[in-house]
Structure 1
């Protein structure tokens, strides 16, 4: 396939591009600076500018763009950045797909398990309704921005990603260092569920969704969500470290503000679509996923 990808330089995009190319796909990366080689295409999502004629040469579009949720304290200004960095890119791509002739057949658009809000002990899948809170509201607007592409006849899959595990990025990066330094432990009560996924499974699940006729929301999470306490115990076991220093919930909220409250939310999210479609998980347990993550060389 000829694939156009936004967000190619991020934690996940930087790994997905070589994964796609290794599978034989031709990948063009959207960039906001002047294009430097034939594998790049310039765009300006803040201004809604993307040449529909250039999009017309693609079979599929993958959008992973968006400012990092945990990168900064959630000021009102940064919350606007979190929203616009997702909605502007998605709307620009969806409108360009709709205007392209011939148009790409599929749009895989990033979303997040934050869509479901705090689910407590209740298990949820793609049939479950949206939850409450800033991230849930953000995800609803983010996903709705794909509508022009869907209305034009493109297959749209919404990649509701949990926490892909890699020791040099995402959720695991700071925790890996803390545990290695004998300073790790559960967050808050530890009873909140954490929707993890091994990074190889995440990459393969994106490919799986791309190559099959899957549309609508797709939860990119492992088949067995675990509590934060169980996650911490598994990481301690894999790293041969104790899990002795829990982070009190109030301390997390004081340290990082509103994001701290969201970080303590419980999300018992199940990958219903992947299971139904027969996706072959390589890492079905949190211990297997963590073992893969800490032993990976890249």
Structure 2
């Protein structure tokens, strides 16, 4: 297939691009910095810095949209919230407009979202049918998904949990603290974390790309979400380090502001639709996933 991908230099996008090339697909990547992208991506990837030359996407068989300003990097000032929204909505709107202007549109549009769609759900089991909440991450995901669903083609939405990898993302930020013996419980520690190994994340996107019956929203998370305190003990045990720190909720909210909800919201999320379509996780359990990642 001839595939257009955005966010190709990100944690998920870079690994996905490598796998797509291994499968002999032709890849065009929309990137902000072609020089940096050239150093990170295989030479066979065609790099473009703008969609301006395109009036349609007739030449592409599929579009995978993973671009977006990182949500946890900066305080959520009004300006930063606007940046988070615009980086997702504006590009998605551009892609949808080009898809809908195509005489022979791409047969598949896979577009990012996040488990933040659901907000705090306490311990209740969450599936793709669970309604969203009114928090900022939830509203952001709702707008992002609504924009993507305007495409007149098969649309798959990726409600992604915490992606585990030693190459970037949340785990890479945690590892230095845990290796120093400074890991620990966040808030009550009872909140469920919905997670997925990077290998399964990429495998899941490829599965959706190849399976035409799949459409709509999919939870890209392991079938075994766990309480944060369990995550803490499992990671510390594998690293053979103590993890007795305890950061109270009010301290997290004081330091992180609104962003603290990304660590404190409880999301007992199940990948119900992926499993019903026959997807098999390589790393359904946290311990085996972390052992493989940190090997």
The TM-score, its normalising length taken from structure 1, stands at 0.92
| Contact preservation (8 Å) 1:118, 1:132 | no
Question: What residue is the counterpart of 1:22 in the other structure?
Answer: 22
SS of 1:56 mapped into structure 2: coil
Cα distance, 1:32 vs. partner?
A: 3.8
Matched residues, number: 287
**Equivalent residue, structure 1, for 2:64:** 62
Tell me how far apart the structure 2 counterparts of residues 184 and 42 of structure 1 sit (CA, whole Å). 40
SS at match of 1:229: helix
Q: 1:171 to 1:50 in 2, by over 3 A?
A: farther
Query: Unpaired segments of 5 or more residues in structure 2?
Result: none
Q: Within 2, Cα distance between the matches of 1:246 and 1:134?
A: 26
Instruction: Give per-residue Cα distances to partners, 1:170-192, cap 9 Å, x unaligned.
Output: 11112111111111112111000
SS of match in other structure, 2:219: strand
* 1-structure distance, mates of 2:88, 2:261: 21
Q: For structure 1, which runs of at least 5 residues remain unmatched after alignment?
A: none
Output aligned runs, 1:47-58, within 5 Å: 49=52, 51-53=54-56, 55-58=57-60
Preserved contact between residue 12 and residue 201 of structure 2 (Cα < 8 Å): no
Q: How far does residue 34 in structure 1 lie from its aligned partner after superposition?
A: 6.9
Quote the Cα distance in structure 1 between the aligned partners of 2:207 and 2:98.
24
Q: Report deviation, 1:50.
A: 5.9
Spell out, residue by residue over 1:25-74, the C-alpha distance to the aligned partner (whole angstroms, 9 max, x if none). 11110124579887122325xxxx46134x21110000001000111111
Q: CA RMSD in A?
A: 1.6
Shift of 1:200: 0.7
Aligned to 1:204: 203
Structure 1 residue 262: deviation in Å?
A: 3.3
TM-score w.r.t. the length of structure 2 is 0.93
Name which of structure 1's ranges 64-73 and 239-248 shifts more when overlaid on structure 2.
Answer: 239-248
In structure 1, the residue matched to 2:233 is 233
Partner of 1:174, secondary structure, is helix
Which segments of structure 1 move beyond 6 Å, counting only runs of 4 or more? 34-38
